[in-house]
Structure 1
Amino acid sequence: MDFAQLAAARHSAVNFEKDFRMTEQDFKQIFELTKLAPSVYNLQLTNYFVITDEEKKEALRDLHFGQYKIHTASAAVLVLGNRQSATVESAEKMYMPMKMLQMMDECEYNATIESIAQYANGLDEAGLRDELVRNASLHAMLFMLAAKHYGFDTCPMHVHNVPQLRELFSIPAHLEPIMLITIGKSVDKERPRGYRKPVNEFVQFNSF
């Protein structure tokens, strides 16, 4: 399908085929497209934690008010913002190979690292949190579109009970849970889309 068809076909699934199981290869092909998402200075601030184990999914479900879609989904995917990626050290690891391959010269490399250093050093806690949410959200939307491209359905969800979640899965302190996405094969193929505002109600040009 073309992009217009893909965007129209993506719905938030509220129930999944319980016995359907996605493979690791299914996820790898989705993430091969997802990794193309934009990120600030190409620092790629987003990590994923894919939960397919049934017992672990049920433990996750308990922390999310027993939501049934976690029970029936093939997997629950935690979208995480990586604080360690918004650093000069991360930038050097990202850009040094480009310099070595002569994709950028020494001057361009140094200027890029200096710009990233100014950006990273200027982030307070609130600014870093905003950056993680912004970048992870862009990444997550592409993940859901890529999933639909390969025939899978998704539903984005809030993350709840973060302290207990961290303890349950031993999530390192530098990874910030941003969003939860359930994924699998939707049971309800013909579920109607909810009302959408007309474009002229949420888009203005040049003035308000």
Structure 2
Amino acid sequence: MNFEDLVISRHSAVNFIKEEKMTEEDFKKIFELTKLAPSAFNLQFTNYLVITDEEKKERVRELSYNQYKIHTASAVIIVMGNKKSIEPSEAEKIYSPMKMLKMMDEVDYDMTMEAIKNYGEGLKEDQHNIELELARNTGLHAMLFMLSAKHFGFDTCPMHVHNVEQLRAEFNIPNHLMPVMMITIGKSVDKERPRGYRKPVGEFVNFNGYK
């Protein structure tokens, strides 16, 4: 399937084939593509909690106003932003091997570390800035996850995440991980579901300013 067909074929699924099961290998294939998503300074802010256990999935459903798609989905995935990603120690884990392999020299490495330090300190001045940056980066990651899932034949639906603190307690989600959204995944019952209305490009795109 070429990219145009992939994008056109991706729909938000509202009901899944209940009997469809997904394995860890299915998810690993999807995440091998997903991990190529861009992120600020390549700090890779996004973490995922994949829930396939039926009882645990039903608990998520209870905390999500009993939305039926969670019940029929093969899995429900909590997409989270990692607040620790902006710490210099985390950046070192990513960039030190690059320096060791001579993909970057000492000067570039030091400049990059300094830039990341300043970037992180700037974000820490306002909690809203951190939350916005996590939402921006996890959104990019999650969209690539959904396209990758479709590439391997699975349908998805992005969802709000509700009752975050209860969800955090239920699954022992550490405080440095911020749930941003959920994604249900499986195989859709409705293969030919019509797409909702989309605005013409001219209604939401402007070039070189607004008149």
Normalising by structure 2, what TM-score? 0.98
The correspondence of residues 61-140 of structure 1 with structure 2, limited to 5 A, is: 61-123=61-123, 124-140=126-142
Unaligned runs of 5+ in 1: none
1:21 counterpart residue number: 21
Unaligned runs of 5+ in 2: none
Q: Counterpart of 1:107 in structure 2: which amino acid?
A: V
The correspondence of residues 1-208 of structure 1 with structure 2, limited to 5 A, is: 1-123=1-123, 124-208=126-210
Q: Counterpart of 1:3 in structure 2: which amino acid?
A: F
Cα deviation, residue 92, structure 1: 0.9
Cα deviation, residue 31, structure 1: 0.1
Q: 2-side partners of 1:166 and 1:204: how far apart? A: 41
Secondary structure, counterpart of 1:122 in structure 2: helix
Query: Relative to structure 2, which stretch is displaced further, 85-94 or 157-166?
Result: 85-94
What number of residue pairs does the alignment pair up? Answer: 208
Q: 1-side partners of 2:64 and 2:106: how far apart? A: 50
Secondary structure, counterpart of 2:180 in structure 1: strand
Q: 1-side partners of 2:42 and 2:98: how far apart? A: 12
Cα deviation, residue 87, structure 1: 1.2
- Residues 75-116 of structure 1, C-alpha deviation per residue, up to 9 Å, x if partnerless? 001000000111111111110000001110000000000000
**Over the residues paired in the alignment, what is the CA RMSD in angstroms?**
0.5
Q: Counterpart of 2:67 in structure 1: which amino acid?
A: Q
Runs of 4+ residues deviating >2 angstroms: none
Q: Counterpart of 2:5 in structure 1: which amino acid?
A: Q
Q: Counterpart of 1:23 in structure 2: which amino acid?
A: T
Normalising by structure 1, what TM-score? 0.99
Q: Counterpart of 2:69 in structure 1: which amino acid?
A: K
Secondary structure, counterpart of 1:140 in structure 2: helix
